[in-house]
């Protein structure tokens, strides 16, 4: 099937599919004499794998590693589980960081009296303190 058909079936853009090829997430497809890429049915499953992995927060580099595990005959379920457990640790760290950001923003908002000049705005002052280390 041509790249346009693959794009329609997966909901991905043609350039995204080409990008995944360049990044090594997809094998280079065979080409017809006309130069058009010719994809087999397996590319749909691989793209579904890539899209689901992205939804779960895996980076393209991590997806490349997962694909490598998928096609490595010596890979065990434990190998894949370790990758998933590491991703959970990464997600938990991001959540902790985002919660800290949220607390900081709430503190700045709580200080805001919604009046005064920009120079007196605690939100802007709070951002200046964070950015430069001093007022």
Domain match, 130 and 98 both: yes
pLDDT tens-digit map of 106-122: 888 887 777 767 777 77
What six digits make up the tokens of 15? 């350039």
Measure the CA angle with vertex 63, ends 59 and 68; round to 5°: 150
pLDDT tens-digit map of 35-88: 888 999 999 999 999 999 999 999 999 999 999 888 888 988 898 899 999 999
Please give the model's pTM, rounded to 2 decimal places. Answer: 0.71
pLDDT at 132 over 60: no
Domain match, 69 and 99 both: no
Q: For the chain, give the percent of residues with pLDDT over 70.
A: 93
Evaluate whether 6 touches 44 at the Cβ level (below 8 Å).
yes
Its domain, for residue 44, covers: 1-75
Domain match, 53 and 95 both: no
Domain match, 66 and 26 both: yes
Q: How many folded domains does the chain comprise? A: 2
Average pLDDT, the chain: 87
> Does the residue 81 lie in any domain?
no
Domain match, 22 and 52 both: yes
């Amino acid at each position: 099937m041509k790249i346009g058909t693959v794009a329609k079936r997966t909901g991905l853009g043609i350039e995204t599919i080409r990008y995944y090829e360049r990044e090594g997430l997809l094998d280079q497809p065979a080409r017809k004499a006309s130069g058009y890429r010719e994809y087999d049915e397996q590319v749909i499953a691989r793209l579904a794998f890539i899209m689901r992995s992205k939804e779960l927060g895996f980076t393209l580099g991590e997806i490349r590693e997962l694909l490598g595990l998928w096609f490595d005959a010596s890979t065990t379920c434990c190998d894949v589980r370790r990758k998933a457990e590491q991703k959970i640790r990464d997600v938990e760290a991001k959540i902790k960081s985002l919660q800290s950001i949220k607390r900081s923003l709430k503190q700045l908002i709580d200080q805001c009296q919604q009046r005064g000049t920009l120079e007196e705005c605690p939100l802007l002052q709070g951002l200046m303190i964070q950015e430069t280390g001093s007022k």
